[in-house]
A = this chain, B = another copy of it.
């Protein structure tokens, strides 16, 4: 994932009791479908499809940064995998975005204590001049300190910001971590910095694996060189800064914008028997950062969605509505696939029955929240009962944001869930070389598949809809 959806306390009474009139129009899930969903859940928890899928993707394709040769191989893999799993319909939809490339990257303390630093360039970073960039460092404790700083103290310097993240189940420190990365780089550039460095937005205090991720730079003109230090390297730089001596660094980043690239969202469908044009939309993003093999970010999400739909396909008959699995293009550098999908499908928003994307690793889902019309709350409660034995609590007080790319379709008015995974160790590996298959627990992954299969199937079988309509959830408090 690139961004996580954060929740604000809901002022709106989404969970108010239905009015008598509304009750007449209540969306419900037939008992037969509930019973079938329970069986689906019990099959899913021991099913190995998702693990095999993510093993295949991370082994046979590996890293697949947007616009790279492996990104193209990833699309070919996804088309082939959808077909191999027996999806009824497989197609792609073009997504065009700026191409950004990482070729090589080095950093070092030049003085007072010469030594290399382990760092990684950030998405949309500018390259340094040939031969590298050497400048003094000015350090800030956090983003607020950088905001408050006088541009005169920054001009021509390498700005370093030291935001510290802690491990949390819901990963909420990534709010400030990602802001330090995205906004911090832009602020530093605006104040005339020669380059920008941050303490990685991660929680692996003892690992020299820096965390990449996109900056807020929109184009080549705005961009300055920007990179993240691993946490032990950040500690090292901070010790050197604490010596009080002037600290000079050299950055040598051969990275940068290189025109535009057209990739694609890859889509597979299990075609609905009664309402083929009405879709439950699930997915993950197919692109990854280049440092790891994109196992938890977001091979897992793609695998969870593919496996959930495949299990529904294996049922005696097709579901009433279509299950659409979307493997999104270039989520990492700014939700490009999600925005393209939302633009291309905005006119069909009402035909999106319900949707959400998996993009927070492979830890167990522990919470479900929903943004649906009041008349569909009962159906959500029916879903909640079936997934409760999997350890998922339904919190009716919070909105459902739809996940990273599908947040864009939710923004257009698609009814959406948030299925929150346990992200306690997610930011140990996120956007690093350590995002590899060994981080995935097959049992936790299967629990995710069970939840996705259950909700997708039940939503597909519902009598009635969940409230999708143009701009239906504009004020639900789910922030993209």
Contact = CB atoms under 8 A, between A and B. Distances in A.
Interface in A54-74: 55, 58-63, 69-70, 73
Nearest to A60: B113
Contact of A59 (B60, B73, B113, B118): B113
Nearest to A62: B115
A151 interface: no
Given A114-B70, A115-B63, A118-B433, A439 B240 contact: no
Interface in A420-440: 433-434, 436-439
A434 B63 contact: no
Contact of A69 (B62, B114, B207): B114
Nearest to A55: B239
Given A62-B115, A63-B116, A70-B115, A433 B235 contact: no
A205 interface: yes
A208 interface: yes
Nearest to A235: B438
B113 A434 contact: no
A109 B59 CA distance: 11
A337 interface: no
A232 interface: yes
B209 A209 contact: yes
Given A55-B239, A115-B62, A115-B63, A434 B70 contact: no
A447 interface: no
Given A434-B206, A434-B232, A61 B113 contact: yes
B115 A293 contact: yes
A477 to B, nearest CB: 37
A123 to B, nearest CB: 18
Contacts of A118: 433
Q: What is the oligomeric copy number?
A: 2
A35 interface: no
Which of A58, A59, A63, A292 is the most central at the interface, judged by chain B CB atoms within 10 Å of its CB? A59
Contacts of A114: 62, 69-70, 73
A471 interface: no
A236 interface: yes
A340 to B, nearest CB: 26
B59 A208 contact: no
Contacts of A62: 109, 113-116, 236
Contacts of A116: 62-63
A153 B80 CA distance: 35
Interface in A229-258: 232, 235-236, 239-240
B240 A59 contact: yes
Which of A62, A63, A114, A292 is the most central at the interface, judged by chain B CB atoms within 10 Å of its CB? A62
Contacts of A59: 113, 236, 239-240
Nearest to A115: B62
A113 B235 CA distance: 37
Contact of A437 (B113, B207, B235, B434): B235
Contacts of A63: 115-116
Contacts of A436: 206, 208, 232, 235-236
Nearest to A433: B208
Interface in A431-453: 433-434, 436-439
Contacts of A113: 59-62
A324 to B, nearest CB: 28
Nearest to A204: B207
A63 B108 CA distance: 12
A210 to B, nearest CB: 11
Complex A-B, nearest 9 residue pairs according to Cβ-Cβ distance, in ascending order: A62-B115, A208-B433, A232-B436, A59-B239, A60-B113, A206-B438, A232-B438, A208-B434, A63-B115
Interface of A: 55, 58-63, 69-70, 73, 109, 112-116, 118, 205-209, 232, 235-236, 239-240, 292-293, 433-434, 436-439
Given A205-B438, A206-B438, 7 more contacts: A59-B240, A60-B113, A62-B236, A208-B292, A232-B434, A232-B438, A235-B437
9 contacts: A60-B113, A61-B113, A62-B236, A205-B438, A207-B207, A207-B209, A208-B434, A209-B209, A236-B293
